[in-house]
Amino acid sequence: MDGTGREYHMRIMGLDYGSKTVGVAVSDALGLTAQGIETVKRKAENKLRQTLARLEELIAQYEVDTIVLGYPKHMNNTVGDRAEKTLEFKEILEKRTGLPVVMWDERLTTAEAERALMEGRVRREQRKTYVDKLAAVLILQSYLDAKSIERG
């Protein structure tokens, strides 16, 4: 509750961390639905300063209290190069934001995002623009759905 007697909800941010972009989604205040907000692009994979600064702005703007980070394990459940880079990003995010970062299995989300965009008749050239943001939405939505099942 805040001082007005209204119940106060923080939002959850979902991230799809790629080598050149980070797809960003945010939950609604009740933690039921995920909305894509943007794709943060960066010049090089190891250049994270601007990416982190932008994420911090979005965290403040949307009053985020938890981050869900897509964890790209291989289909056979092993951890490859991309997953290791994602774990490094998790540590940087936690240090920089002070927020808890939950790793969430994202093995099928990019393929699912591509399929949804194809079914939505989005032209191939434009798909790249949307796929990371949509993958972030799918990561966050599957996390929110799992939490609501847990709550019963």
pLDDT of 3: 47
Q: Fold for domain 11-151? A: Nucleotidyltransferase; domain 5 (3.30.420)
The CA-based diameter of the chain, rounded to the nearest angstrom, is: 50
For the chain, give every domain's residue range: 11-151
Going residue by residue through the chain, which has 152 residues, state the pLDDT in tens, using 9 for 90 and above. Answer: 444 444 456 899 999 998 889 999 999 998 999 999 999 998 777 789 999 999 999 999 999 999 999 998 766 777 788 889 999 999 999 999 999 999 998 766 666 777 777 777 777 777 677 778 888 998 999 999 888 877 76
CA–CA separation, 138 and 152 (whole Å): 21
pLDDT of 81: 86
CA distances from 47 to 8, 10, 42, 90 (A): 35, 29, 7, 15
CA–CA separation, 68 and 136 (whole Å): 9
pLDDT of 8: 53
